[in-house]
Amino acid sequence: MRRALQLAARGPATGPNPRVGCVLLAPDGHLLAEGHHRGAGTAHAEAAALAELAARGASAAGGTAVVTLEPCTHTGRTGPCAQALLAAGLARVVIADTDPNPAAAGGADLLRRAGVDVEVGLLAEAAHALNERWAAAVARGRPWVTWKFAATLDGRSAAADGTSRWITSAPARADVHRLRAGHDAVLVGTGTALADDPALTVRAPDGTGEGGQTGPQPLRVVAGLRELPAGARLRDGRAELVHVRTRDPQQVLAVLAAREVRTVLLEGGPALAAAFARAGLVDEVVAYLAPALLGAGPAAVADVGVSSIADALRLDLAPGPDAVVRVGEDVRVTARPRARPAGERAPDPSHPPVVEEVARVHRDR
Ligand SMILES: NC(=O)c1ccc[n+]([C@@H]2O[C@H](COP(=O)([O-])OP(=O)(O)OC[C@H]3O[C@@H](n4cnc5c(N)ncnc54)[C@H](OP(=O)(O)O)[C@@H]3O)[C@@H](O)[C@H]2O)c1
């Protein structure tokens, strides 16, 4: 399963599908084939491993499939994997994590009913952590929202005269491009779109090129009723633009969910960020804090409906060593809202094995 997790981690962190790895073993335990999912429209991990085996004219009959996610039962862009494993004659299937997608789940039961020996839960937490944002998005029917902002140590996101470029240092801004590349969509309100005329693309540190972005650029999304000028950078065609003409955060996310967007980077500004925070629609906060003071000027977030200290929206630092990191002259803090919807699996910072397992998988990639 550790090997399957390594393979899974080679898949893309963005896109509509989870990262999945599969290892096929012969009845005597020796390695037959491996596979991983390379993104939407390509073979699922199980199908990739079976195809590798078939290409060599070999058979997995009587063997074991080790997969990081429950084999799917639905015919999407590719055929159902549970059926493919059955057809290949596997006697045993070891699964790390169950599938939260109601349309695809049930693979373990299907295999069991067909007489296959199925084990679920081996290294489940490491497997879940690998696809945490995807699993949350699929289970809730709305994308995972990361809210990113830059502020001075006194929490200001612009000076009193409205100027805000640049609060943070070049390395922090380069880090933001890396963060963008890790999301399916980048979202701002019309206020930011009109005030800053941002491009919202992934670019190199000098502001040019594609910043090493090999896949498609993230979808650019603007929320709000006002129109964007014809000459806005967001209309430059370098990436797709969606203007959601609403002030309802739920509706914004519904539009994105319908496009199979699983992760959104909310880049502000203060009004839109406050609306998302008030609606409980922020899953992670990434704050770039510059060692500077402004004393006046707009705060990083507008009114979130808190009037008393007891009602503060408390966050917990994200698990793992990257929760607080120095980036150039600035500090990046990653935190998550403390209260979570009932039934949702919360990361457990007191559970170092999970963090270590994922860190190890990433190291070994
Ligand atoms: N430091 C940072 O990290 C950072 C990041 C982003 C922006 N900024 C700065 O923030 C300033 C802009 O602030 P802002 O608050 O006006 O920007 P904003 O939050 O991007 O836009 C606010 C506008 O979005 C629309 N909107 C859509 N849904 C909304 C909702 N649920 N609640 C409220 N408004 C909603 C409204 O415009 P309609 O009338 O069109 O509906 C509203 O006026 C700029 O100066 C920019 O430089 C700083």
Taken in order 261, 12, 175, 330, the sign of the CA dihedral is positive
Distances (CA, A) of 253 to 96, 99, 156, 186: 29, 22, 27, 12
Q: Which of 153, 157, 330 to mutate to test the pocket of ligand 1 (most atoms within 8 A of CB)?
A: 157
354 in any annotated domain: no
Report yes or no on 42 lying in a domain. Answer: yes
Residue 363 lies in a domain: no
Q: On the CB side of 265, how many CA atoms lie within 13 Å of its CA? A: 24
| 23 and 152 in a common domain | no
The answer as to whether 356 is a domain residue is: no
One domain, residues 115 and 151: no
What mean pLDDT is reported for the chain?
A: 90
Same domain? For 177 and 296 the reply is yes
On whether both 276 and 146 belong to a single domain, the answer is yes
Ligand 1 contact, 192 CB (< 6 A) = yes
Q: Please identify, among 130, 162, 197, the residue that sits at the C-terminal boundary of a domain.
A: 130
Distance CA 237, CA 327 (A): 31
Protein residue whose Cα sits closest to atom 13 of ligand 1: 269
Query: Does any ligand 1 atom lie closer than 6 A to the CB of residue 149?
Result: yes
| Residues 160 and 284 placed together within one structural domain of the fold | yes
Tell me, using a 6 A CB cutoff, whether residue 271 lines ligand 1. yes
210 shares a domain with 116: no
pLDDT at 243: 98
Residue 359 lies inside a defined structural domain of this protein? no
- CATH number for position 51: 3.40.140.10
Give domain status of residue 211, yes or no. yes
Task: Please count the CA atoms within 13 angstroms of the CA of 8 that sit on its side-chain side.
Answer: 29
- What's the domain range around 108? 2-130
Last residue of a domain, one of 130, 153, 188: 130
Residue nearest to atom 36 of ligand 1 (CA): 224
Q: Are both 60 and 208 inside the same structural domain? A: no
- Assigned token pair, 203: 């670019």
Kindly give the distance from the C-alpha atom of residue 145 to the centroid of ligand 1, in angstroms, as a whole number.
16
C-beta separation of 218 from 184 below 8 A: yes
Residue 320 CB less than 6 A away from ligand 1: no
272 belongs to a structural domain: yes
Phi, psi of 24 (to 5 degrees): -105, 130
User: How much is the pLDDT for 209?
Assistant: 63
Q: 158 C-alpha to center of ligand 1: Å? A: 12
Specify if 358 maps to a domain: no
Tally the domains of the chain.
Answer: 2
Cα of first residue to Cα of last residue in the chain, in angstroms, is 14
User: Among candidates 79, 34, 37, which has minimal Cα distance to 56?
Assistant: 34
Same domain, residue pair 265 and 317: yes
Closest by CA to 151, choosing from 15, 340, 285, is 285
Half-sphere exposure of 64 (CA within 13 A, CB side): 15
Strands 64-69 and 92-97: parallel
- Pair 327, 246 in one domain: yes
The residue annotated as part of the active site, out of 46, 125, 284, 357, is 46
Pocket lining: 176 vs ligand 1, CB cutoff 6 Å: no
Among this protein's residues, is 46 annotated catalytic? Answer: yes
Ligand 1: which residue has its CA nearest to atom 43? Answer: 191
CA 267 / ligand 1 centre spacing (Å): 10
Q: Is 93 in the pocket of ligand 1 (CB under 6 A)?
A: no
Atom of ligand 1 nearest to the CA of 189: 20
pLDDT at residue 213, as a whole number: 65
Residue among 146, 272, 289 whose CB has most ligand 1 atoms within 8 A, to mutate: 272
Going by C-beta distance under 8 Å and a sequence separation of 6 or more, which residues neighbour residue 342?
none
Residues 236 and 208 in one domain: yes
Q: Which residues of the chain have pLDDT under 70?
A: 75-79, 205-214, 339-365
We report the CATH number of the domain holding residue 202 as: 3.40.430.10
Using the 3D structure, point to which of 73, 102, 130 is the last residue of a domain: 130
Alpha helices in 42-106 (DSSP H): 45-55, 81-87
**Same structural domain for residues 190 and 329?**
yes
Nearest CA to ligand 1 atom 28: 247
Q: Which residue has the tokens 């507008």?
A: 302
Q: What is the pLDDT of residue 272?
A: 98
Q: Decide: 190 in ligand 1 pocket, CB within 6 A.
A: yes
Do 322 and 206 lie in a common domain?
Answer: yes
